[in-house]
Structure 1
């Protein structure tokens, strides 16, 4: 009899269970939430135009994850260096062991619906003050109290004129579904930790670890050079 590989068997069972849960939940809410969603998941940084020559970075962040916070400044610095040659899409993965990750992510979806130019400002606001929403400081708070604090915190970050809209957003089923879609999208990409980065569709190693500025340069510079070489070769064909 062939020996059963127990770790492989457990992995198969876990993947099957995840598929069953996602499939079952989508069938139950088919009228309210269709998969695939109406638009591609994620927030586009600075809305740089994307074409066949653009290098695309995808970042999976949790707004209350310290490693996500620590990885953002160097990634932002790299994006400023490369300009529109590199496009960033941020996907939110609210990790289940961060108690307030889902509500924080939902606040970002709400603000993105109201004014997409404020989305990354709010993300940075969460990163700057995320200790307020760690598990321990909110341990004795009710869910409603935490949501109220997140609403007020988000309004403080993007402008108090957003307060009523943020409050209404947390009663809107659509914003709940958008946040769930982000989680499910992460699952379809095999992402289970933050931060995780993909470049041109391929995952970078060392998931969950921040990448420093030189690390980003080491990844992207060869891609930019390869593109420049391709352009030179194309020009030589016509001269």
Structure 2
């Protein structure tokens, strides 16, 4: 799934079979297990401040796909944003060890001193696994990367302070429950918990109180 993660943010077009189009009805396309998995997301209860909407999923990652984009919003500022893609291959996939796979990209800006912490990648990965486990979810074959990048400004932008960004790309196989359908509502809720942690918000009431969160990032800078 590494290749799928690398293409996640670059390929925003629709799937070959036209599924996942915003405004469409997911119950009208795909096999029953896929339709049920997408429909179940409607029961998810998300924390305040998270804005989410369906978007076209990447192409060719699986026979059936559906995607959502979300942002943690504070006033006019996005503290963190990301995309979650649900993939389904009724024939199964050796790399997934299942018929469903969840793929995500999450990113946020950080204070430069926080980005310099040598333990930051390990901490960020623990946020993902902790968010899933905090919701009591069973999953398999997790994989991913944590990347931090810095920007320095010159010339006409030289007055801007340096900025740093953290980016988490990951995928995992959700446990398939009754009728072979994963608890997608709980996985989406856990993913929004991850977004909140990356944004620097305190844990949601059902999350593990021992988790570490980052301070909220700076407000927008002017040139």
More helix by proportion, 1 or 2?
1
TM-score, length basis structure 1: 0.22
More strand by proportion, 1 or 2?
2
Name the structure, 1 or 2, with higher relative contact order (CA <8 Å, separation 6+).
1
